[in-house]
Structure formats: structure tokens, C-alpha cells
Structure 1
């Protein structure tokens, strides 16, 4: 069983780390909105099949659908669009590094939106260190280059993730809904919203090729569909604390694939800044680790679940 979980953990890191490569390749023949549309439609189809096979009933309450619509906008539509737009101007590896700031953004939003949230001194230091790492990646000493806006878009995407996870924690997680059902609705609503918006935002000429078609299909089916199942299994088997270490691997995968497959160049400040961001995450994370329910145990953190999107993985209460 442990060997099976290890394989799924590795596949998870590869799927989410490779998402930024697939976005980049998809942009060779599609506009950012078209990439997101294809990603969400194929991802929703994959999750619908998974929900049907596992016989997961979807929630029926209108208020739940309303909350999941908010989550779909903040966790799928807007950040996916921002990352896809940004990758027209920045390397896929750099985008994957910025994606690793999601836990820091989530903690920052939670401090403001959730009155019960408190940070230890180590956690506060982790926030400061983490955002110092962001500055190193941004490299302001180089001046206001043409990629600053694109890098800001990446940070805007992770800030949206933070807003979405806090909303999930406050309004959805207390309901105790099955995780597969929640994500199926979330991605499905995101796909529906993009289909409605497509006549207005996805009208650019399409230049399809096998790499473009395969990239968008894998991005949706694997990165936004199967990866969720792997993630759920790993969290159930190893606990969220151990499973969350996938966040440390995805930027490594993203950068390596960008260099090897796309021939991207990496400046010294990018891996250094990423390492500083990950150090900040390590300082922030221990506060919640003691409250989680690990396999075979019980405790006040039993309501904690991991939520994800195709570009990354995060833990929400």
C-alpha cells in the first residue's frame, strides 16, 4: 500500500509541476482564454467520470452551489487565466516558482479574514522570509522590465487561491461534503462559466497541432482530474502534513521541465528566491501540523482536508 501511495505522490508532483509546461505549449496554438477553456472542460469531464465511477453524489443545496461558484471563480477561472496570460511573457519554470507562494498567500488572507487565526513568532517570521524570497525572484534591482506585470499576474493568481481556500474553509469545509464531489462541482461550474464567456473572450484564431491538443488534454484530464484522486489518496494514507510536501517538489519539476523541454534559461535569483520561499513555508507550516489528524489518530483537526487545482496543491480546513 505504501509503495502505491509513493507512486501516486510522485505522479502528483509530476502532474502539477508539469502543468506550467503544458500551459506554455498550449499557448503556441491557443489564446490564454482558450487554454483555460480546454483545461476546465476536459478536467470537468474527467472529474464527472470519477464521481460517477466512485458513486459520489453531488450536493443539491443552492447555498452550497453558490459558495462553490465563488470558489470556482477564485480557484479556477481567474487564476488559470492569470497564469495562462502571464506565461505569454514569462517562462513556465518561473510561473511554477510563483505558484509555490500559494501557502503564504493563504496564511496572509486567513489572518485578515478569519478572526481566530493567530501566527506564532516562527510563523510570522516565515511570512516575512517567504515574501523576501518573492522579492528575490522578482529581482527589483534589474529595474521595471517587461515581465514585471506578468510576474505580478502570477502573484495575483496565488492571491486568488488564498481567497478561495479561506472561503472554502469558512463556508464549505464545515459541511463535511465528499472532497471529490466538491471538486467536481467546482471545476464543472468553472467550465460552465468559461463556456458562457467563450464567445467574448476566446474568439482568437486557433492553430491546432498534436502538441497543443495533447498538452491541453493532459492539463485538464491529468492535472485537474486524476491528480485530485491521487492527492486524496495520499492525504488519506499519509496525512495532510506529509502530503503537503508535494508543494516543495512542484516548482522543481516545473523549472527542470522548462529547461530540458523548452530550453528556458534560469537566472541565479530564481532558484535562490524559490529556496527562500520554501524556507518561509517551512517556518509557517509547523503551527498547523500538530492539529492535523494523521492516519490512525484523532484530534481537533479531523475536519481538515486538502483542496487543489491543476496548478498546485494546498491545504484548507
Structure 2
């Protein structure tokens, strides 16, 4: 397996920023769709429409999906970890908490990924600096949820825990998905395979459990949100996802969830009329500080500054 370079270049950071915008928009789209559709129906339509889109793209390019049973088993495993479990949990959670708060809780994904990657990979170790980042990041989550519990706004709701469980599933998916690059599977094939596998499971499940055809027909806003969710926040997003996963690694890739709350909060507040309290932003700030600490660059910068000051002082004394 190819060794991952943990230091990202300008191209990787640009792709990461683009991915954050696409996934940040997903919280907005789900926030609209959840008003008229159930969580299973949302994720089934999301993966189904994305699968149709990506399969059409592959056909137009004159390519064919692989038929290797082992590779399709991996697609189903990736679909379970990266689509079925987190999509369902987060969509259900968003029916009970604001989309901005859901996106902040989702920002714990890299913290979970650090631990998972340390035990399941050889080139993404858990260093002391990363441990410090985990401690700071989780302090942000505890502070954020602690304030909610004290004020009784969560009560006995499982919604925040459901979103956190979705973040943990994403962490396992980030590590699991590295195998596609080593198997010679392109980002397009990997993206198409996982959403197709997910749709094949979720479509009959949603039809059986939620029976959405018995409910009133959704309005134009809901259908627009679903197409935006499927085409941009899923199909296009996963093309970028698998490309970054191959070059930057699971830990670096899932730093994207730090950037997602920014776009999600803006859309949630200014379009959906949601309100985000300052304590949520403070918690996100702590999570952000933790993720920056994980990267290690602030500590290296402080070391260089300290060394430069020490060197200048020593040279001044010698004169």
C-alpha cells in the first residue's frame, strides 16, 4: 500500500475547501428535506439519485463498472460505513437539532479518525501532538453538549449522540476506503460503487419502513433540496473524497469536517432561520484548535520562533 504524505499541498487544501462547501451544503439540503421526508427516504433518494448520475457519467465515458466480487464486497462495506449508517443517523438527528449544531458535532470526525487510523494503519500514527489535539477537540464537544444539558434543551434526546455515532462511522470509512487506491480503483469507480451499493440496500428498506408514497407529495423546495443533495453533496463530493483519500490519507481528508460547519451555519441561520448560540461557536473554536494542533504546524512555528529569538539573543550577547 502506498505511504500517505501527511503534509498537504496547495492542491489538496483547495480540494478540501471545495469538499467542505459541498458537504456543508448537505446539512442545509437535509434541513429542508426533513420537513417532508423521513430520514431513510432522504438517504435512499440521496444515494439512488447519485448512483444513477455517476453510472451515466461512466457510460458516457465509455467505461464499465468492475465485476470483481471482492471489489463489490468492499463497495458494500464502504457504503455501509460511509453512507447507510452515518446518513441515516445524521438525517434522523437533524430532525431534532439545528443543522448548524449537527455540523459542529460532525466536526469530531477527525478526532475519531486519529484513534482509528492509529490502530488500523501504519503511516498515520497517533503522536503526542495529535493526542493533545484530541484532548482539546473533545473538550469543545463536552463544553458544547454540557451547556445544552444544563439548560435542558437536549433533555433525553438521543439526537446529538446519533450525530456523533455517524461521525465515528465516517472515521472507520476513511480508513477502510484507502484500499480502493491500492486495488487500482479510480475515484469515479469508487464513488459510483459505494453509492450504488448503498442505494441497493436503502431503497427497499425505505420503501418497507417509511412507505413514503402514503404521505402527501413533497413540494418543489424538497425536490430541489434532494437533487442538490444527490448531485452536488454526494456524487461530486465523493469524486473529490476518493481523490483526496488516495493522496492525503484519512486523517488529513477528514479535517474537512472542521470547515463544514462554517457553510452549514451560514445557510442554516440565513436561509432556514435557525439560531446558533455563542457557546456552540465557542465549542467549535475548541474543536478547531484541536484539529490545528493535530496538524502540528503551530508547534513547529513556535519552535522556529523560539529558536530564532534564542539565536538572536545569543548573537547579541556575543557582541
Normalised by the shorter chain, which TM-score bucket? 0.7 to 0.9
Deviation at 1:198, TM superposition (A): 2.5
Deviation at 1:22, TM superposition (A): 0.6
In 1, Cα distance between equivalents of 2:245 and 2:128: 28
Deviation at 1:212, TM superposition (A): 0.5
In 1, Cα distance between equivalents of 2:242 and 2:207: 35
Aligned length in residues: 283
Deviation at 1:98, TM superposition (A): 1.5
Q: Are 2:107 and 1:100 equivalent residues in the alignment?
A: yes
Q: Who is 1:133 aligned against? A: 140
In 1, Cα distance between equivalents of 2:186 and 2:71: 13
Per-residue CA deviations over 1:196-216 (Å, capped at 9, x if unaligned) read 212322314244100001101
Residue 274 of structure 2: SS of its match in structure 1? coil
Q: Are 2:289 and 1:282 equivalent residues in the alignment?
A: no
TM-score scaled by structure 1?
0.79
Q: Who is 1:192 aligned against? A: 200
In 2, Cα distance between equivalents of 1:147 and 1:249: 29
Deviation at 1:82, TM superposition (A): 0.5
Q: Who is 2:25 aligned against? A: 18
Q: Are 2:221 and 1:211 equivalent residues in the alignment?
A: yes
> 1:121 and 1:230, CA in 2 relative to 1: closer, same or farther beyond 3 A?
closer
Deviation at 1:248, TM superposition (A): 3.6
Q: Are 2:278 and 1:271 equivalent residues in the alignment?
A: no
Deviation at 1:5, TM superposition (A): 10
Aligned-pair Cα RMSD in Å: 3.0
Deviation at 1:148, TM superposition (A): 4.2
Q: Who is 2:89 aligned against? A: 82
Selected match of 2:209 from 192, 201, 206: 201
In 2, Cα distance between equivalents of 1:111 and 1:164: 14
Q: Who is 1:151 aligned against? A: 160
In 1, Cα distance between equivalents of 2:16 and 2:127: 30
> 1:109 and 1:235, CA in 2 relative to 1: closer, same or farther beyond 3 A?
closer
Selected match of 1:182 from 190, 196, 203: 190
Q: Are 2:73 and 1:66 equivalent residues in the alignment?
A: yes
In 2, Cα distance between equivalents of 1:255 and 1:168: 28
In 1, Cα distance between equivalents of 2:84 and 2:28: 19
In 2, Cα distance between equivalents of 1:8 and 1:220: 19
In 1, Cα distance between equivalents of 2:99 and 2:290: 22
Q: Are 2:175 and 1:166 equivalent residues in the alignment?
A: yes
In 2, Cα distance between equivalents of 1:243 and 1:104: 12
Mapped contact 2:114–2:130 kept (Cα < 8 A): no
In 2, Cα distance between equivalents of 1:26 and 1:227: 19
Deviation at 1:181, TM superposition (A): 0.4
Q: Who is 2:42 aligned against? A: 35
Q: Who is 1:257 aligned against? A: 267
Structure 1: state its 5+ residue gaps.
288-317
Deviation at 1:51, TM superposition (A): 2.5
> 1:111 and 1:5, CA in 2 relative to 1: closer, same or farther beyond 3 A?
closer
Q: Which moved more, 1:80-89 or 1:140-149?
A: 140-149
Per-residue CA deviations over 1:224-253 (Å, capped at 9, x if unaligned) read 1123345677899x9779987654432101
In 1, Cα distance between equivalents of 2:286 and 2:264: 17
Higher helix share: 2
Residue 277 of structure 2: SS of its match in structure 1? coil
Mapped contact 2:113–2:254 kept (Cα < 8 A): no
Residue 271 of structure 2: SS of its match in structure 1? helix
Over alpha carbons, which structure has the higher Rg?
Answer: 2
Deviation at 1:94, TM superposition (A): 0.9
Deviation at 1:41, TM superposition (A): 0.8
